[in-house]
Amino acid sequence: MRNRVYIDNIFRHEIADGTEVTLKGWLYNKRSSGKLVFLLLRDGTGTIQCTVYKPTVGDDMFGVADKIAQESSFTITGNIHKDERAPGGYEIQVSRVELIHQAVDYPITPKEHGPEFLMDNRHLWLRSKNQHAIMRIRHTVIKAIRDFFDGRGFTLVDTPIFTPAACEGTTTLFETEYFDSKAYLAQSGQLYAEAGAMALGKVYCFGPTFRAEKSKTRRHLTEFWMVEPEVAFNDLYDNMELAEDFLEYIVQTVLRERAQELNILERDTSKLANVKAPFPRVHYEEAVKIIRESGLPFESGNDFGAPDEAAISAKYDRPVIVHHYPAAVKAFYMKRDPNEPDKALAMDILAPEGYGEIVGGSQREDDYDTLLQRIKEHDLPPEAFDWYLDLRRYGSVPHAGFGLGVERTVTWICGIQHLREAIPFPRMIHRLKP
């Protein structure tokens, strides 16, 4: 780290024009023109044009520069030169080039490659400009998530990945031998976050979650990151308020801090600028009407499919909250509305532009007897929920929370088509490598 200069130090005007610097990185691209070679150097923080002029560096070093191949590593010494025409506003006038390691036949060339090829070479594909932009936006989304909750006094409660019982049926659970017994990889940290909320009031868990999804859609990963806040004494409406403030914060932070990356991805940011609370709130039965008015057949009582969600969100210019889903299509732990006993105090948030559900949450059932009855109705083993029932045995309180999927959020904000680009090393039914 000693005195190292990175390209973003130059772009952020932290080093005076004319200063001699040494940069280390990889060749992103190159063009030659007579006595000039233009090396596009990337170092992970940015890409800068390095101009190598034959009379300055001499024939030998010019020969080295001229032969550097794509993604080879090299060191450049030269003077920073402000030049409005150069990308980023600066270039390096090179006095010295040293090759570190020549890359022979780098597999990803500027030509088009198929998605399977790119996914097989994900470890290299991450070096490309668009993937950099997505990874930096992902970074900022995750930082915004944590900053939002940390700034509001939430305590992080990391929930376990290994869980003892197959609480919600085993069909989408990954199982592992756990010494002399079996463990299942958590699909959600919620039940544990509820214990955290009873202890610390306002908590969130944030980690990878696992679903053995056999579906091969562009909206499914077997391993994805999810953040789940849980707040004691919050009801459904507090939960909606928290979620909309949260989404606004994430999107506005990315717009402010990642304008350049959104530009690289050619994202229409006008659609994101609208993401401000309050969001429209639509009762399930009203949502059913919207779906039918759009011309789709829909039977009330069912859960929404992707086309139904698209029909609902098409009506609004920002995310929309759908609430009061039929209890029958929702999880056992959701509290029902005493005024509409067939409806759960549940809410989902649908992203605009057809990106579908990105938040799902509810007020939780806080009555011991009712919860026990629901567990039995769902054919779940009550003994596996002993500790969870304890939260209703000892000082039960109303509480609510939700989950937000990181990759779905990143995919939407980036305006890309497939979740697999929203995580560094995606895992899907047919994808476990690299």
Give the residue with the Cβ less far from a second copy, 111 or 430. 430
- Enumerate residues 6+ apart whose C-beta is below 8 A from 274: 317, 318, 352
State in angstroms the smallest separation of the CB of 74 from a second copy. Answer: 8
Distance CA 73, CA 30 (A): 13
* 3-class secondary-structure state, position 120: helix
Long-range (24+ apart) CB contacts under 8 A made by 258-262 are: 258/133, 258/136, 258/137, 258/140, 260/133, 261/132, 261/133, 261/134, 261/136, 261/137, 262/133, 262/137, 262/413, 262/414
Answer whether 203's CB lies under 8 Å from 176's CB: no
Q: Evaluate the omega torsion of the peptide bond into residue 424 and state whether it is cis, within 30 degrees of 0.
A: no
Give the residue with the Cβ less far from a second copy, 84 or 105. 105
Enclosing H/E stretch for 293: helix 284-293
Per the structure block, which two tokens stand in for 293?
């008015």
Answer whether 183's CB lies under 8 Å from 164's CB: yes
Give the residue with the Cβ less far from a second copy, 67 or 393. 393
Give the residue with the Cβ less far from a second copy, 144 or 310. 144
Q: Give the distance, in angstroms, between the CA of residue 79 and the centroid of all CA atoms in the same chain.
A: 38
State in angstroms the smallest separation of the CB of 86 from a second copy. Answer: 20
Cα dihedral sign, 72-74-80-81: negative
State in angstroms the smallest separation of the CB of 164 from a second copy. Answer: 5
State in angstroms the smallest separation of the CB of 133 from a second copy. Answer: 11
State in angstroms the smallest separation of the CB of 90 from a second copy. Answer: 17
State in angstroms the smallest separation of the CB of 162 from a second copy. Answer: 5
Give the residue with the Cβ less far from a second copy, 78 or 352. 78
State in angstroms the smallest separation of the CB of 298 from a second copy. Answer: 33
Give the residue with the Cβ less far from a second copy, 303 or 390. 390
Q: Evaluate the omega torsion of the peptide bond into residue 352 and state whether it is cis, within 30 degrees of 0.
A: no
Burial of residue 213, with CB atoms counted within 10 A of its CB: 0-12 exposed, 13-18 middle, 19 or more buried? middle
Distance CA 282, CA 321 (A): 6
Give the residue with the Cβ less far from a second copy, 39 or 287. 39
Which neighbouring-strand residues pair with 185? Answer: 162
Give the residue with the Cβ less far from a second copy, 54 or 220. 220
State in angstroms the smallest separation of the CB of 274 from a second copy. Answer: 23
Give the residue with the Cβ less far from a second copy, 241 or 286. 241
State in angstroms the smallest separation of the CB of 165 from a second copy. Answer: 9
Residues shown for the chain? 434
Closest CA to 324 of 361, 278, 279, 275: 361
Give the residue with the Cβ less far from a second copy, 132 or 267. 132
Helical segments of 68-207, H only: 115-120, 122-125, 129-151, 190-200
State in angstroms the smallest separation of the CB of 123 from a second copy. Answer: 4
Distance CA 93, CA 95 (A): 7
